[in-house]
Amino acid sequence: MYIIRTLFVYFYNMNIFLDDTLCRKKLYPFTYTRHVSDIRVGIFTIKEKWALLTQAAIFTNAAMAPKDAIQVDANLLPTAKNFLSILHGIASDVKCLNNPWDIYQLNDWAIREDMHLINPPNPGADMLAANQFINPQQVFIEDSAQVNFCLINASAGPVYIGKNAAVMEGCMLRGPIAICDNALVKMGAKIYGGTTIGPNCVAGGEIKNAVFFAHSNKAHDGYLGDSVIGECCNLGAGTSNSNVKNNASAVKYFSGKNDAGIVAGTKAGLLMGDYSRCAINTSFNTGTIVGVCCNIFGNEMPAKYSGNFLWGKERYIFEKAIADIDNWKKLKGGQITENEISLLKQLYHQQ
């Protein structure tokens, strides 16, 4: 590990303010409903990275931050190698999130860096006997995780399986991959490198270089690649996305009907905001953005840009949207909060 534990004495009583004033709008649709520092890239959110690296008090609200707090741009990605330089304002080579697609484009790198922030065990004798491993020295499985009759290949990067996570029989994982706490990977799933399955998510089918934030489902067959799925989302059975054009040319993301678009590279998939869902067998085009609280269905391929609160092609009735979100959250053992309702109501009336 790069971190010297005695450094934490230096951070005792230190305050850090993560400021997203200048970068928030650049990271829609994910920052309609969260602070930039609550974006997950790698194993952890940005705020969680700072907490693990420093054990300092982390603030995201300027009104609540103490006057002596060190101000840091919230879209900077701290690592065990660079966080001290960032705090001293002298970092020159720091990766950051400038666009929402940076989340999946940096995820491979971020998983590798986040492995320095934790210390889980390698597979024990029972785990080695119950599964097939390639390069098990780079496989890290929390004691409470359940993994049986799987093939885990860490020759190209580390594989992390979190607390109380379950990887069912027949799964094939090829690192770098992070399966976060309480996540479920269903039987026969094929997961390629650069993928994070966030806390309490369900994953199935074929997934490559994709990030799930938390409490979201892609439980069935279908392909998802070079994509980011927000919180409390659901992809219906058979849903797939395109991440490469048939002519292999550059892919643009559009943030509105009249937007000229921004090139994201030759591989660009689905960006889906929180609380959104799609019907079975939905096919998403390359470079598609789905906003917050959308229900995507119909016989036509979805538009490459969907605003917020969409019901098919109509505007979602707010009260129905809230009731539907609450129903989905109850499936995960939770319920919608008053703070969520207030934030969504404000967003609804801004559209």
pLDDT tens, the chain, 351 aa long: 444 444 544 565 789 999 999 999 999 999 999 999 999 999 999 999 999 999 999 999 999 999 999 999 999 999 999 999 999 988 778 999 999 999 999 999 999 999 999 988 899 999 999 999 999 999 999 999 999 999 999 999 999 999 999 999 999 999 999 999 999 999 999 999 999 999 999 999 999 999 999 999 999 999 999 999 999 999 999 999 999 999 999 999 998 766 889 999 999 999 999 999 999 999 999 999 999 999 999 989 999 999 999 999 999 999 999 999 999 999 888 999 999 999 999 999 986
115 domain residue, yes or no: no
Please indicate, yes or no, whether residues 150 and 277 belong to a single structural domain of this protein: yes
Question: What is the rounded distance in angstroms from the CA atom of residue 179 to the CA atom of residue 196?
Answer: 6
Of the candidates 79, 94, 109, which is a domain's last residue?
94
169 domain residue, yes or no: yes
Please indicate, yes or no, whether residues 182 and 234 belong to a single structural domain of this protein: yes
Of the candidates 71, 94, 117, which is a domain's last residue?
94
Please indicate, yes or no, whether residues 237 and 182 belong to a single structural domain of this protein: yes
Please indicate, yes or no, whether residues 291 and 340 belong to a single structural domain of this protein: yes
Q: What is the pLDDT of residue 12?
A: 59
120 domain residue, yes or no: no
Q: What is the pLDDT of residue 52?
A: 96
Please indicate, yes or no, whether residues 252 and 132 belong to a single structural domain of this protein: yes
285 domain residue, yes or no: yes
Please indicate, yes or no, whether residues 249 and 334 belong to a single structural domain of this protein: yes
Please indicate, yes or no, whether residues 54 and 198 belong to a single structural domain of this protein: no
Helix 318-331 crosses helix 338-350 at what angle (to 10 degrees)? Answer: 140
Of the candidates 50, 79, 94, which is a domain's last residue?
94
Please indicate, yes or no, whether residues 26 and 75 belong to a single structural domain of this protein: yes
113 domain residue, yes or no: no
Domain containing residue 90: 5-94
Q: What is the pLDDT of residue 255?
A: 84
Question: What is the rounded distance in angstroms from the CA atom of residue 190 to the CA atom of residue 282?
Answer: 20
Strands 314-315 and 310-311: antiparallel
114 domain residue, yes or no: no
Please indicate, yes or no, whether residues 196 and 153 belong to a single structural domain of this protein: yes
64 domain residue, yes or no: yes
CATH of the domain at 260: 2.160.10.10
103 domain residue, yes or no: no
Please indicate, yes or no, whether residues 178 and 292 belong to a single structural domain of this protein: yes
Number of structural domains (the chain) is: 2
Please indicate, yes or no, whether residues 255 and 184 belong to a single structural domain of this protein: yes
Question: What is the rounded distance in angstroms from the CA atom of residue 1 to the CA atom of residue 4?
Answer: 8
Q: What is the pLDDT of residue 92?
A: 78
Please indicate, yes or no, whether residues 58 and 162 belong to a single structural domain of this protein: no
Question: What is the rounded distance in angstroms from the CA atom of residue 251 to the CA atom of residue 54?
Answer: 38
